[in-house]
Amino acid sequence: MIEISNKYSNLAAELKDSDDTEFENEINSIREKGDVEMIPALVEFIKDEAIDTLRRHKIAELLGDITTISAREILIESIDSLRGKPALAIVISSLWQSRLDFTPWLNIFVEIMFDEELYSAIEAITLIENSVEKLDDNQKSELRNSIR
């Protein structure tokens, strides 16, 4: 379970309760001034299935725009909190669309490929496919063996 810092403990609720204009303004503010400590709160927002799908996808786009390398660990931790939930596919999609390198965690995505529902599995396969070119021959061989 990822922990939301006190600084951002109300962020998901504020986004949920905002009208469309406030939501867009908050998104723009996060895009300009956000930091990696916001990630757990943003993931909590995406996880809430009562929230409009379009809003959840806009937050996922924000996750996909993150370029801070230290965010990778937080994003990977968020994957565990999303297991078995439809939001898992949304977050994995944002990961493979980002410019961050998730090759050190490909084994997690192989597990998802086998253990989660179809949409999440497809997103995991896409992330793996996009990462293979970054692997050396030994790593490719290990990945093949883990999939077999």
| Residue-wise pLDDT tens digits, 54-101 | 999 999 999 999 999 999 999 999 999 999 999 999 999 999 999 999
In sequence order, which residues have a C-beta less than 8 Å from that of residue 93 and are 6 or more positions away? 60, 64, 123, 126
pTM: 0.91
- pLDDT tens, 18-38? 999 999 999 999 999 888 999
pLDDT exceeds cutoff 70 at 8: yes
pLDDT exceeds cutoff 80 at 2: no
Lookup result for tokens 């790593």: 139
pLDDT of residue 1: 59
Q: Which two structure tokens, joined as six digits, stand for 11?
A: 């962020």
Are 87 and 50 in contact, with CB atoms under 8 Å apart? no
C-alpha separations of 98 from 35, 51, 73, 76, 91 in Å = 16, 23, 14, 13, 11
- Find the mean pLDDT for residues 134-139: 92
